[in-house]
Structure 1
Amino acid sequence: MSNPTPPSAATDSPLRHRAFVQFWCARIASGFGFQMLSVAVGWQIYAITGRAFDLGLIGLVQFIPSVLLALPAGHVADQFERRRVVLIGQIVEWTAIVLLAVLTLLGRIHETGILLLVFVIGVAKAFESPSMQSLLPALVPPAILPRAVAVSGSAFQMAMILGPAVGGLLYVAGPGVVYLSAAALYLVAAGMMATLRYEQAPPKREPATLKTLFAGVHFIRERKDVLGVISLDLFAVLLGGVTSLLPIFARDILHTGPWGLGLLRAAPAVGALLMSLWLAKHDLQRRVGMTMFAAVAGFGVATLVFAVSTVLWLSLAALFALGAFDMVSMVIRGSLVQLDTPDAMRGRVNAVNSIFINTSNQLGEFESGMLAAWLGAVGSAVVGGLGTLLVVGLWMAMFPSLRRRQRLQLEEPAKEALGTPESV
């Protein structure tokens, strides 16, 4: 693709734009590969050691680089061509996965080697993530960015639903087969990213200083709407998550087996996927602030329904609704942050946002587990649902401009960094 479609033409058929299709397919390929990889790594480590503690280490070696390297990764995303940053990250991940496959097939794999290679993948993903998130606004016009965010989210949800299942089936043939399949998918993703063409203003190089590293934090503090949506996500997920408690609900409350647990885990992703497909065809153009708050409140209500349910079908319906509400909120939050942020700052702002997201997910599971130990699983989920509703009320009072916001795109968008767009 020598020259991207002009914005006016792209608006007529935005989701058919070749660059966006390549981006979407690359997201699906790498997402499937990573989900398959996660299943194989967990099974293999537990088969080697037999210790549940080591399963926790897998999450830890991915969480540490995602937080510690987020700000430097955001700086890199704003100083260099983002496509190349993503491509390098995927190549590093592909190399680590190939090493996992080779060592496994040769019978020379061990726990330390697996954790070390997973750590390398975590480092690469830490740098890849803010650049990947910042690429999307360059591929579609601002007017249809929310629909593009929804379609991009559908790729993630499909990977979440089908990736572990495919990985589990392939594991029957051995973990090496799963690793080779994941490596092949990453190779497809890297090939698509290598040939991606789009328009981007030349990045303005700045030396890495504390001021430039923390520029994203300063920007978010100064933009109340951006601060509001990012912090709302942090506290809502921190309080409202019930994923870590699903085994308890499945066995002790709903009295179902592993098949029921599988359905419970899939229900939120199915709800999110279907909602993302609906949002891809419908624009969010009115009262977006109240729509977002209503979606987060719906998330809290669905959590309460799940908490008090004692029948499987109602619990599945509550989790389905929970995933759908979360997707609406995610699309609005993601689009608003991207549209309110100048392109020259998107990498650093997305990096700070990723810290909030990763922290809320990890601490949310810890919070749910601690409350469940004190109050029981039902009590923990009830407190989480009520806490989410309380946060919505507080945030509506603390961020009135966000509550009154009508459109995602401001009438006077933040000024972009100066520079003549060029095809990259």
Structure 2
Amino acid sequence: MNPNGSSVLHNRSFLRLWIARIFSTSAFQMLSVAIGWQMYALTDSAFQLGLVGLAQFLPMLLLTLPAGQTADRYDRRTIVYLCQLMESVVVLLLVFGSMQGWLGSLHLLVAAAILGACRTFEGPASAALVPDIVDREQLPKAAAWSASAMQTAMIVGPSLGGVLVVWGTAAAYIASLAALLVSTVLIFFIKTVHFVKKLDAVNMDTFLSGLKFVFARKIILGTISLDLFAVLLGGATALLPIFAEDILKTGSLGLGLLRSAPAVGAIVVSLILTRYSVERAIGRTLFASLVVFALATILFGVSRSFWLSLFALFLIGASDVVSVVIRSTLVQVNTPQEMQGRVNAVNSLFIGTSNQLGEFESGTMAGLVGAVPATVIGGLGTLVISVIWMYWLFPVLRTQKTYTAEKG
């Protein structure tokens, strides 16, 4: 780990982006709590909870490659700005629907799908904004600061969402709307300084170039595919309403604390990484963090103590953020400036698959065997995936020492 280097927060545009991500991610987390809580209240179904994740994933699956093209062809700041405006409109409709009492499970799924589509375009453009704002040698610290912003939001958002739904889901939707509008204003005032080459034409070669780039580099492919399958199996956040209501019996306030616990662990580690960035034994650090993630998932599944469950979720967040920082830094350092949008779109697809499709997998498995067995099986699956990637599919990833990835 290396403590050297000035803070990227001295860059005003990056500071605005950092704060905007706190507000926008807080809004999304509050929405996740409110939509999940409202869906479970309406249907009393773990399967319906999983469908919320599927509704967010399907637009991402269909629109990721066009989103990458858009991020490399048009102004990335404007893309993020317009996406957040559209998200605000959707949340405004959720506010009215909740206050007037006409929201049903289908409305929630449609809202989740539209929000998923907006975030599909917003994600690659937002990620590609970072190299547009900061110098390449500052990218590891920028990634750590970005992770800290995300995790700060994941503390504030779920906690606030869990408290607000006590007064009704409309209150959580209103707070989400306010946070989105603040983020939109901050994004509007960001200035980019690095030149981005515009694509001359759209054809099949440029359309698939992001995928080709990723699959031609084993380090990047191994890292993001490892995250895809491991987190897909090990993710238990979609089941937290069930754990809070039926197993730990803590209610909506306990749900907010459970949702926040991974973010507490993550922000502690991410703040450490802003000072001491990981620069040695990258591969081994990645696998070590994944093993901790898997064991903590199993611990959470078998726990019947609220405080032990919080500790397990703390470990899940702390270990996961190490993977997040390593993965995002690898992608940005080894991607040409003019391809940042397309490559980050592919990366977003892998991340979104592991998160949203992972929620669907967890909900479906819980519906078949119960929430506790589903969580334990997921943790064991993550361990198996780690061993396969480490020793059979991508052994070069295990021995990777720096962020400079070899081609081939």
Bin the TM-score by the shorter chain: 0.7 to 0.9
Structure-1 separation of matches of 2:107 and 2:303:
43
- Taking the TM superposition and a 5 Å limit, the aligned residue runs for 1:324-403 are 324-369=318-363, 371=365, 377-397=371-391, 398-403=393-398
Identity %: 47
- SS at 1:183's partner residue? helix
Deviation at 1:228, TM superposition (A): 0.5
Partner residue in 1 for 2:65: 71
CA distance in 1, matches of 2:196, 2:303: 54
Between the aligned partners of 2:379 and 2:109, the Cα distance in structure 1 is 35
Letter in 1 for 2:197: P
TM-score (ref. length: structure 2) = 0.85
How far has the Cα of 1:185 moved from its partner?
A: 2.3
Q: Given the alignment, which residue of 408, 414, 421 partners 2:403?
A: 408
1:294 to 283, 288, 293: 288
Q: Single out whichever of 283-292 and 148-157 deviates more from structure 2.
A: 148-157
State the distance in 2 between where 1:45 and 1:310 align: 25
CA deviation after TM superposition for structure 1 residue 352, in Å: 1.5
Identify the residue that residue 156 of structure 2 maps to in structure 1: 162
Q: Which runs of 5+ in 1 are unaligned?
A: 1-9, 414-424
Shift of 1:309: 4.2
- Distance verdict in 2 for CA 1:187–1:370, change over 3 Å: closer
2:188 maps to which residue?
194
Q: Which residue of 1 aligns with 2:265?
A: 271
In structure 2, the partner of 1:22 is 16
TM-aligned CA deviation for residue 178 of structure 1: 4.3
Q: Which has the larger radius of gyration?
A: 1
Separation of aligned partners in 2, 1:284 and 1:110: 46
Residue 208 of structure 2 is aligned to residue 210 of structure 1: no
Pick one of 129, 135, 155 that aligns with 2:129: 135
Residue 317 of structure 1, aligned match among 311, 317, 325 = 311
1:195 deviates by: 1.1
Distance 1:109 1:303 in 2: 37
1:81 corresponds to which residue?
75
Post-superposition Cα deviations, 1:14-43, rounded to whole Å, max 9, x if no partner, equal: 222111110011111212223333444456
* C-alpha distance in structure 2 between counterparts of 1:168 and 1:257, whole Å: 11
Partner of 1:419: none
- For the 8 Å contact 2:8–2:141, the answer to whether it is kept is no
d(CA) in 1 for partners of 2:246 and 2:92? 41
Distance in 2, Cα, partners of 1:118 & 1:396 = 35
Q: TM-score, normalised by structure 1?
A: 0.82
Q: Does 1:241 align with 2:235?
A: yes
Letter in 1 for 2:395: P
> 1:149 is paired with a residue of what secondary structure?
helix
- After superposition, the Cα gap between the structure-2 partners of 1:321 and 1:195, relative to the gap in structure 1 and judged at 3 Å, is same
Q: CA deviation at 1:163?
A: 1.7
C-alpha separation between the residues in 2 aligned to 1:201 and 1:67? 29
Equivalent residues of 1:142, 1:409 under 8 A apart? no
Deviation digits for residues 187-219 of structure 1, max 9, x if unmatched? 221221111112121332233322222111111
Q: Which amino acid aligns with 1:267?
A: A
Task: Using the TM superposition, give the Cα deviation of residue 393 of structure 1 relative to its aligned residue in structure 2, in angstroms.
Answer: 2.3
**Which stretch of the first structure deviates more once superposed, 310-319 or 213-222?**
310-319
Cα gap change, 1:138 to 1:318, in 2 (>3 Å): same
For structure 2, the residue ranges without an aligned partner over 5 or more in a row are: none
Aligned residue number for residue 152 of structure 1: 146
| 1:364/1:100 CA distance change after superposition, 3 Å | closer
Would the aligned equivalents of 1:296 and 1:326 in 2 still touch at CA under 8 Å?
Answer: yes
Q: Structure 1 pair 135/372, CA: closer, same or farther in 2 (3 Å)?
A: same
Structure 2 counterpart of 1:257, which letter? T
- Whole-angstrom distance in 2 between the partners of 1:391 and 1:115: 31
Residues 155-186 of structure 1: CA distance to partner in whole angstroms, max 9, x if unpaired? 22222222233245445666555444433322
1:268 maps to amino acid: P
State the shift of 1:336 in Å.
0.7
Distance 1:298 1:36, change over 3 A: closer
The residue type paired with residue 72 of structure 1 is: P
2:280 paired with 1:280: no
Q: For 2:155 and 2:271, how far apart are their aligned partners in 1? A: 15
Task: Give the paired residue count.
Answer: 401
Task: Note if contact 2:77-2:126 (Cα within 8 Å) is conserved in structure 1.
Answer: yes
Given that residues 271 and 323 in structure 1 are in contact (C-alpha distance below 8 angstroms), is that contact kept between their aligned partners in structure 2?
Answer: yes
- For residues 38 and 344 of structure 1, do their structure 2 counterparts lie closer, same or farther at Cα, with a shift above 3 Å needed? same
User: Structure 1's 180 and 310: CA in aligned 2 closer, same or farther, altered over 3 A?
Assistant: closer
Contact map agreement 1:74 1:350 (CA 8 A) in 2? yes
Matching residue's letter, 2:73: Q
